[in-house]
Amino acid sequence: MADPRRLGKRGAYRLGAPRVSGPRSGSAAVPRSPSFRAGRSRGSAVAWLAACALAAVILGFGAALGLWFLPFVAGIAAGIAPWRARHALALVVLAVLVGWGAALWWPALSGAPAGATARVLAALAGLPPHAAVGVAATLLVGILQAVVALWLARAATYRLR
């Protein structure tokens, strides 16, 4: 404030005055109103859905082949991607749930005793011996791998962004 005598007087702080960004034109500037939506687009929803579907397919086939570490790799890849953290987190969580869930569900559909195996694994882990508990614990392990890898990649590339 350049003039201390104007403190507390009407118009001293220019509260609510319209901001004009750019050359002044003959028309009056419209004051800005608060908004909760992003000011600009952060990326395409189609690209995000395609990346999520691709990650889920890769994780599903990887889980079927016994590559249990692929959620960690997916988390690293999503952490390096130029998306916002919450979008990358949603991508890896959804991809792990769909990919690993499909890999756990497919043997049960084809007649394999997947439920019995899940019950035994849950009991060996010290959890209640129910198939749903074994499947939920397996999905939780995959989600934890992906989230930790996402956090690690975002922390390592913080200065680069």
pLDDT category at 14 given cuts 50, 70, 90 is low
Q: Is the overall model pTM greater than 0.95, yes or no? A: no
Position 59, amino acid: L
* Distances in whole angstroms, Cα of residue 118 to Cα of each of 40, 62, 65: 46, 19, 17
Task: Name the CA radius of gyration of the chain, rounded.
Answer: 26
Q: What per-residue confidence (pLDDT) applies to 27? A: 54
pLDDT of residue 117: 84
